[in-house]
């Protein structure tokens, strides 16, 4: 796919191009068996199960999808749902329970990945499964409790407001979800989540065929053939990342004028959400601002100050933890704005703050990690490129250490990757080498170019982005690959010598 085709696709599919989710699909099996595509969702869960009975990637990323898929299959068995055309839900559910018993009995216990609402989702799903199998069938991970869920449910039943970001995981509220004091978004979603939307609907989903939220769920299920993604729509998120990735790499692309206009229109006093149904966040806002700046549309980044803390920027107010990539994107947005509007000096101290924070967060091996992506190659690319371009003299050593780590972590086949070499992670490594490196890195970049030049097969791309479970934003990953390939071609004669 060419860059122009990719950008044109953003307009043709305004909700975004994102992979189906085992977690979200499992929730719809339980919450919305009346929804079109139910049998296909059961097929999907059976087909995605690993030989060991689990679902998802390792290192703790398999707990949430395995809980959701297993509970969904158990609920289908309890209802006596018709068997799907492929797979055996009863056998899959038994294998899932066995896999969960192994995962939750593992010693020593490893910290779970920093995923949105994981501290609520895991107790919620374990309690549902234990209601069927017995109160002590599955233990809670250390430090987790159902008490916060009970407090949320009581609060909702009282009619009190809950934080908007909680709506994305509204399903944890159980029957209380229908009491949520929220308006369905203009396109019918609640929390940009099929599971949250189904939970909010409750019995109304079956009884009110013209309900906007039901119509939204039907549209999502039809689009994906039954299974559903964990987050949709991702309109601003997708457009911001695709445009900024392509333009930063110098890829010739001519986005429609309305795309830039839409980005501007999405920005409010506290920025923009990733898409309808979600709260504004600093990460999406920063990338939207940076993309506008690269397109020659300077937009004052004052809205970012709503997320400023003493030492860094938060993704949203009240955030627990902090994000490397969010702060790298803040540096990009402020730096690009100052390039276009040099007298905006009030943003310089904020840039210095972020440079200091990113430098202090760098790991001893030279990499960075992040709460929004499973791969250190993504976080390292975000941080190293922002520091290289806008970090000044203080950033030279951290960038050099990042490049050294990338060289040391290349695989024999020329690829890069956390668990195995992937096209996506190789693209991030190549962008870092080619935009922040020099001729010393030409051999590694040439080997990576050979790996990246292999034919794309989306079905083989692993989901590496954090949400309630891991997901794949297809267009964003395509943009990273197009950018890396463009950079290798542009540098072929003088740099890569291939």
CB pairs under 8 A, 24+ apart, for 484-487?
484/249, 484/426, 484/427, 484/428, 484/430, 484/431, 484/434, 484/448, 484/452, 485/449, 485/452, 485/453, 486/3, 486/249, 486/250, 486/251, 487/249, 487/250, 487/430, 487/431, 487/434, 487/435
The phi-psi region of residue 233 (left if phi > 0; otherwise alpha if psi is between -120 and 50; otherwise beta) is beta
Give the per-residue pLDDT at 319: 87
Rounded Cα gap, residues 239 and 253, in angstroms: 13
Rounded Cα gap, residues 404 and 425, in angstroms: 16
Give the per-residue pLDDT at 496: 41
Residues in the chain where the model's pLDDT stays below 50: 495-498
CATH class for the region spanning 22-224: mainly alpha
Give the per-residue pLDDT at 494: 53
Rounded Cα gap, residues 22 and 64, in angstroms: 9
The CATH 1.50.10.160 domain(s) of the chain lie at 22-224
DSSP 312: S
Rounded Cα gap, residues 193 and 169, in angstroms: 8
Which CATH architecture does the domain made up of 235-496 adopt?
Alpha/alpha barrel (1.50)
Q: Are 68 and 470 in contact (CB under 8 A)?
A: no
Token couple for 420 = 């195995």
CA atoms within 13 A on the CB side of 333: 28
The CATH 1.50.10.20 domain(s) of the chain lie at 235-496
Give the per-residue pLDDT at 492: 66
Q: Are 325 and 357 in contact (CB under 8 A)?
A: no
């Amino acid at each position: 796919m060419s860059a122009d085709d990719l950008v044109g696709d953003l307009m043709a599919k305004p909700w975004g191009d994102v992979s189906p989710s085992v977690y979200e699909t499992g929730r719809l099996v339980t919450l919305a068996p009346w929804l079109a595509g139910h049998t296909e969702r059961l097929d999907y869960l059976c087909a995605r199960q690993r030989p060991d009975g689990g679902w998802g990637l390792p290192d703790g990323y398999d707990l949430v999808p395995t809980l959701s898929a297993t509970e969904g299959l158990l609920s289908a068995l309890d209802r006596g749902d018709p068997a799907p055309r492929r797979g055996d839900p009863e056998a899959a559910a038994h294998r899932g329970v066995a896999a969960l018993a192994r995962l939750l009995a593992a010693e020593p216990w490893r910290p779970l990945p920093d995923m949105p609402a994981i501290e609520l989702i895991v107790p919620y799903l374990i309690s549902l499964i234990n209601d069927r199998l017995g109160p002590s069938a599955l233990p809670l991970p250390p430090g987790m409790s159902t008490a916060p869920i009970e407090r949320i449910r009581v609060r909702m039943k009282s009619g009190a407001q809950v934080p908007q970001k909680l709506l994305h995981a509204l399903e944890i509220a159980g029957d209380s979800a229908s009491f949520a004091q929220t308006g369905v978004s203009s396109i019918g979603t609640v929390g940009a989540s099929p599971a949250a939307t189904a939970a909010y609907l409750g019995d109304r989903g079956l009884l009110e065929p013209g309900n906007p939220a039901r119509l939204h769920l039907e549209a999502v299920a039809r689009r994906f053939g039954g299974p559903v993604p964990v987050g949709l729509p991702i309109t601003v998120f997708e457009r911001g990342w695709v445009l900024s990735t392509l333009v930063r790499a110098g890829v010739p692309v001519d986005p429609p004028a309305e795309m830039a206009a839409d980005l501007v229109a999405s920005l409010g006093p506290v920025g923009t959400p990733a898409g309808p149904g979600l709260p504004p966040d600093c990460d999406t806002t920063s990338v939207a601002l940076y993309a506008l700046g690269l397109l020659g549309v300077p937009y004052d980044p004052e809205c970012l100050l709503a997320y400023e803390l003493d030492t860094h920027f938060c993704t949203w107010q009240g955030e627990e933890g902090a994000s490397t990539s969010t702060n790298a994107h803040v540096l990009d947005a402020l730096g690009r704005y100052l390039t276009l509007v040099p007298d905006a000096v009030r943003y310089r101290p904020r840039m210095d703050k972020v440079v200091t924070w990113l430098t202090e967060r760098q790991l001893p091996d030279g990499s960075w990690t992040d709460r929004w992506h499973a791969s250190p190659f993504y976080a390292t690319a975000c941080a190293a490129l922002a520091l290289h371009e806008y970090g000044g003299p203080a950033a030279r050593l951290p960038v050099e250490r990042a490049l050294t780590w990338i060289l040391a972590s290349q695989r024999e086949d020329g690829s890069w990757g956390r668990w195995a070499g992937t096209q996506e992670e190789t693209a991030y490594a190549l962008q870092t080498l080619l935009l922040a490196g020099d001729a010393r890195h030409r051999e590694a970049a040439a080997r990576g170019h050979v790996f990246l030049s292999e034919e794309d097969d989306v079905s083989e791309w692993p989901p590496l982005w954090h949400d309630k479970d891991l997901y794949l934003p297809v267009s964003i990953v395509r943009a990273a690959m197009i950018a890396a390939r463009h950079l290798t071609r542009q540098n072929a004669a003088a740099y890569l010598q291939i």
